[in-house]
Structure 1
Amino acid sequence: MIRIVLAEDQKLLRGALATLLSLEDDIEVVGQAENGEEVMSMIQQYEPDVAVLDIEMPLKTGLDIAELIQKNKSACRVIILTTFARPGYFQRAMQAGVYGYLLKDTGSEELADAIRRVYDGKRVINSELSLAVWDDPCPLSPREREVMKLAAQGLVLQDIGAQLFLSYGTVRNYMSEAIGKLGANTRIEAIDIARSKGWLD
């Protein structure tokens, strides 16, 4: 029996998924959560084989949970469900050791099959989502992303420099490079572009 926990902040969708998956002879839904902190507690308590996580949840996202599972060296394998084909989300998911990355409109039979394959140690990635990364890779360097992320939080260049132990001129150069790479005209526009792609998450 494959023991799973399910995390989805929309109650109706969570209930429907749990009901459909419970109809499978070899799958048992041992916990249902509506936010990231709740599902993390369930993972620690029930030690499930697979966690099926919505990418965007209150308190902690599905990606936050995947990173915590990886950090804690938990045996629980993660499948992310998303409505977003954002390259940044996908890249972060892969770095967090996620086994499955599927769109929310995946059918229940396909999801059940994905759970079995992930349980067996295989990766299951929606082709549309994986193609999004090849078609639109992040052009920013790690340092440029860091500068952009802090700018997105409302910090001015001087404060960003202080936080990253860089000179004002160096931060300005990173910001200028990032704006150019994203084909933007202003810092605000560049932040909006990077955010929409999921590169600042």
Structure 2
Amino acid sequence: MNKNVKILVADDHPMLLKGLRDELIEHNYNVIEGAVNGAKALDIIISQNPDIAILDINMPLLTGFEVIKKCQEKSVNTRFIILTSYKEKGFVLKAKKLNIAGYLLKDEPFIEIKNCIQAALNGDFYASKEFDEIFSNEISPQLKKIKFLSPSERTIVRLIAQEKSSKEIANLLSISVRTVQKHRSNIISKLDLPNGAESLFGWTQQNKELFLTL
């Protein structure tokens, strides 16, 4: 029964917060006090231990991701659903790494929120179709390539992303410029990129979020 499912909604836009809470209440969910910032959401989750917390990402004081991480550190049993407008790869990857229950875009119909809540209660992951497409088509293929890089090559990729030159990288790692250039060549080959320094630098800027957390 929906009335047995305790839900918290947190969003810093009062109209969106009220609209979603009203919709959930209309469908007989047990909706507790809403939160307009991340710190308030964290306090409510820890004190009231809701079954589900539906969080926006970009909130004052603490982001949705920061709330989730702090709750996981405290071994809170609440299952988390992100409801957001963000479609960027970095946000999608963070959501995957936090092992949340759902990731929905704000323009989805309410039936999708109901489906996501049910999946979360069953211990499953549920996401907007666009989320799955971004992960499957843009993130997963690049992650597979990154796994072929050695630890030394990953370090060099991070430094390239920071706009360090081959000479600067060589000095930082106490290796020769020639060794750095050889690493660059191997990295370009493993990532299946066109030859040339610009292609590798461009790749690091487009995929920075993917390897900085590996």
Q: Which residue among 74, 77, 80 is the counterpart of 2:76?
A: 74
Q: Name the structure with the higher strand share.
A: 1
SS at match of 1:33: coil
Superposed CA deviations along residues 93-121 of structure 1, whole A, max 9, x for unmatched, are: 22212011111112223213322331232
User: Larger Rg: 1 or 2?
Assistant: 2
Is 1:3 the counterpart of 2:6 in the alignment?
yes
Superposed CA deviations along residues 30-55 of structure 1, whole A, max 9, x for unmatched, are: 33233x22211121122111110112
Q: Which residue among 61, 64, 67 is the counterpart of 1:62?
A: 64
Give 1:14-93 correspondences, 5 Å limit: 14-34=17-37, 36-93=38-95
8 A Cα contact 1:70 1:97, kept in partner:
no
Q: Name the structure with the higher helix share.
A: 2
SS at match of 2:35: strand
CA RMSD of aligned residues (A): 3.7
- Distance in 1 (CA, whole Å) between partners of 2:42 and 2:175 is 40
- Distance in 2 (CA, whole Å) between partners of 1:146 and 1:30 is 46
SS at match of 1:32: coil
Counterpart in the other structure of 2:97 = 95
Amino acid across the alignment from 2:18: G
When normalised by structure 2's length, the TM-score is 0.68
8 A Cα contact 2:10 2:36, kept in partner:
yes
SS at match of 1:59: coil
Is 1:113 the counterpart of 2:115 in the alignment?
yes
Alignment CA distance shift 1:182-1:24 (3 Å):
farther
Amino acid across the alignment from 2:105: L
When normalised by structure 1's length, the TM-score is 0.72
- Distance in 1 (CA, whole Å) between partners of 2:91 and 2:48 is 27
Is 1:193 the counterpart of 2:200 in the alignment?
no
Comparing 50-59 and 75-84, the one that deviates more: 50-59
8 A Cα contact 2:116 2:127, kept in partner:
no
- Distance in 2 (CA, whole Å) between partners of 1:59 and 1:182 is 41
Q: Which residue among 124, 132, 137 is the counterpart of 1:135?
A: 137
Amino acid across the alignment from 2:65: L
Superposed CA deviations along residues 54-92 of structure 1, whole A, max 9, x for unmatched, are: 122233322222222222211000001122333332232
Q: Which residue among 115, 121, 124 is the counterpart of 1:122?
A: 124
Amino acid across the alignment from 2:122: D
> Can you give the 5+ residue segments of structure 2 that lack an aligned partner in the other structure?
none
Flag the structure with more relative contact order, 1 or 2, with Cα contacts below 8 A and sequence separation at least 6.
1
- Size of the aligned set, in residue pairs, is 194
Alignment CA distance shift 1:45-1:89 (3 Å):
same
SS at match of 1:185: helix
